[in-house]
């Protein structure tokens, strides 16, 4: 499903030429001077951005069309990419958003009953510069050890410069820290996703306002399937725009860029929380809730990107395998209920935590009806373990409609009973990720 909105100019994409020429020489140049040489894939030209790796074995079409990847050069750790081609159903937005694409072996021809065209053709048509034939394991290990960094893919004529010229172009590009990108990928006009178009038989049970900060198409669909009408609003929406659709709940989506730049959205969320509207946030929406509650955010060493990321729901002790794509995280204390000194929203606890590195993966407010997760329960691509979160939000709206805070009636983390044998999350001091 693709939102009914035409492409608009994208300042984040740095493509300079768009001719497909598979055998043209290409180079991936990292900010620290390391260079990997291969051949072109998709469009030829120059692509500048942050080099990051994604560990999904499947779902490349969903990955490249996820707006949260804007201004990033994505390295796929899966060695064969493009085997199932590209179709009209799996795109998560109206276009490809990765700024550049890095693969080891590109499929020579796609083979799948749903395939409509090759990934190479699609990349070329949309002007996305890629590189193939590079050692993606070596690139991934390098980024893991030296942190994600700025990089450039140069192919065709653009690859003819000296190493120094190419590196200078990389060093002149903008870093991800401090980048404000959500407004660039968001829609210009509001639109509505109706339950009846997604298998719901009957009147909508609730309606919500969902701020598109780079929303993935499956997110409103997951609400609609459950009988929730979704008013998707642009990233620049105001409290008046939200109130105008008379919502039962408020949602903020995933999105690209540094959450420290999202002041407009933090302000909007605070004003919505003041109205006592139930809130659910995904990914960027989790970071914005963290900031609205008075916590900071920081850049991870190399982030979490893939569809095999283990997370513990600390209320139930259950572990879920999740889909993730984030390079920043909320800096909140892991243990117990806390309240940042300047917060007017009461207590909050870390509801979900990454089992790989103890990064905060979810927040639950205890005194207001609001919660959020850092990962992707819409599962496109990815496992469906976290689908219960959409139901949790519906419960919260139901509880609020019934005049009580549904969050209050649930056990807090302190009184949760983790499943036997599951490791308790470690203290945040043991984080392997660097803080800003």
Task: Provide the annotated binding site.
Answer: 68, 255, 257, 284, 287, 325, 327-328
CB of 36 to ligand GLN, least distance (A): 24
Can you list the positions of beta strands (E) in 197-244? 206-211, 228-233
- How far is residue 26's CA from residue 155's CA, in Å, rounded to a whole number? 4
For every residue of 357-422, DSSP letters joined together read: T--EEEEEESSSSEEEESS-TT-SSS--GGGHHHHHHHHHHHHHHTTS-TTTTSPPGGG--PPTTP
| Centroid of chain to Cα 183 | 15
CB of 292 to ligand GLN, least distance (A): 15
Packed helices 284-292 and 263-274: angle between N→C axes, nearest 10 degrees? 70
- How far is residue 406's CA from residue 369's CA, in Å, rounded to a whole number? 7
For every residue of 250-303, DSSP letters joined together read: EEE---SS-GGG-HHHHHHHHHHHHTT--EEEETHHHHHHHHHTT-EEEEEEEE
Say whether 283 is catalytic: yes
Nearer to ligand GLN, 41 or 280 (CB): 280
Cα distance between the two ends of the chain = 37
Nearer to ligand GLN, 152 or 281 (CB): 281
Nearer to ligand GLN, 110 or 327 (CB): 327
Q: Which 8-state DSSP code applies to residue 342?
A: T
CB of 368 to ligand GLN, least distance (A): 22
Say whether 376 is catalytic: yes
CB of 406 to ligand GLN, least distance (A): 25
Nearer to ligand GLN, 26 or 293 (CB): 293
Nearer to ligand GLN, 254 or 407 (CB): 254
CB of 286 to ligand GLN, least distance (A): 8
| Centroid of chain to Cα 109 | 29
Strand, helix or coil at 171? helix
β-partners of residue 282 are 373
Can you list the positions of beta strands (E) in 34-138? 35-42, 46-54, 72-76, 80-81, 100-102, 105-106, 129-132
Q: Which position among 283, 349, 352, 365 bears the catalytic label?
A: 283
Nearer to ligand GLN, 182 or 224 (CB): 182
- How far is residue 407's CA from residue 425's CA, in Å, rounded to a whole number? 22
Nearer to ligand GLN, 73 or 283 (CB): 283
**What are the helix (H) ranges across 115-162?**
119-125, 136-146
CB of 257 to ligand GLN, least distance (A): 5
Nearer to ligand GLN, 50 or 313 (CB): 50
Residues that bind ligand GLN (CB under 6 A): 68, 254-257, 259, 283-284, 325-328
CB of 299 to ligand GLN, least distance (A): 8
Q: Which of 35, 175, 147 is nearest to 433 (CA)?
A: 147
Q: Which of 281, 290, 223 is nearest to 252 (CA)?
A: 281
Q: Which position among 198, 231, 326, 376 bears the catalytic label?
A: 376
Q: Which of 309, 185, 204 is nearest to 254 (CA)?
A: 185
CB of 374 to ligand GLN, least distance (A): 8
Per the annotation, where are the binding residues for L-glutamine? 68, 255, 257, 284, 287, 325, 327-328
Say whether 365 is catalytic: no
Q: Which of 329, 354, 380, 300 is nearest to 50 (CA)?
A: 300
Q: Give the residue numbers marked as catalytic.
A: 283, 376, 378
């Amino acid at each position: 499903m693709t939102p009914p909105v035409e492409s608009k100019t994208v300042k984040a994409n740095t493509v300079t030429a768009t001719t497909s020429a598979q055998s043209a020489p290409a180079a991936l140049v990292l900010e620290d001077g390391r260079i990997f040489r291969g051949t072109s894939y998709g469009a030829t030209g120059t692509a500048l951005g942050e080099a990051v790796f994604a560990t999904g074995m499947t779902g490349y079409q969903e990955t490249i069309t996820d707006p949260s990847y804007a201004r990033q050069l994505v390295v796929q750790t899966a060695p064969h990419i493009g085997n199932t081609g590209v179709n009209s159903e799996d795109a998560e937005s109206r276009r490809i958003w990765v700024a550049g694409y890095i693969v080891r072996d590109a499929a020579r021809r796609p083979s799948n009953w749903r395939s409509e065209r090759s990934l190479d053709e699609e990349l070329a048509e949309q002007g996305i510069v890629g590189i193939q034939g590079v050692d993606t394991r070596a690139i991934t290990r390098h980024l893991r050890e030296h942190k994600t960094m700025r990089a450039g893919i140069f192919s065709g004529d653009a690859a003819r410069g000296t190493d120094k010229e190419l590196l200078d172009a990389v060093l002149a590009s903008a870093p991800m820290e401090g980048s404000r990108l959500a407004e660039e990928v968001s829609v210009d006009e509001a639109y509505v996703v109706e339950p009846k178009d997604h298998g719901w038989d009957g009147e909508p049970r609730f309606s919500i306002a969902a701020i598109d900060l780079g929303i993935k198409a499956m997110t409103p669909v997951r609400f609609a399937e459950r009988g929730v009408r979704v008013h998707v609003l642009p990233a620049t929406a105001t409290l008046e725009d939200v109130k105008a659709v008379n919502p039962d709940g408020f949602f903020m989506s995933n999105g690209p860029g540094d959450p420290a730049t999202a002041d407009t959205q933090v302000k909007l969320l605070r004003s919505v929380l003041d109205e006592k509207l139930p809130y659910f946030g995904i990914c960027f929406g989790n970071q914005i809730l963290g900031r609205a509650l008075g916590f900071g955010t920081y850049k991870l060493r190399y982030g979490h990107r893939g569809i095999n990321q283990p997370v513990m729901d600390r209320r139930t002790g259950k572990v879920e395998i999740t889909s993730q794509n984030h390079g920043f995280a909320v800096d909140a204390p892991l243990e117990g209920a806390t309240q940042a000194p300047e917060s007017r929203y009461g207590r909050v606890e870390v509801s979900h935590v990454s089992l790989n590195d103890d990064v905060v993966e979810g927040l639950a407010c205890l005194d207001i009806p609001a919660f959020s997760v850092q990962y992707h329960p819409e599962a496109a691509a990815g496992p469906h373990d976290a689908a219960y979160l959409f139901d949790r939000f519906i419960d919260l709206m139901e509880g609020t409609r019934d005049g009580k805070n549904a969050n209050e009636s649930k056990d807090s983390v302190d009184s949760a009973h983790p499943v036997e044998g599951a490791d308790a999350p470690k203290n945040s001091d043991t984080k392997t990720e660097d803080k800003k």
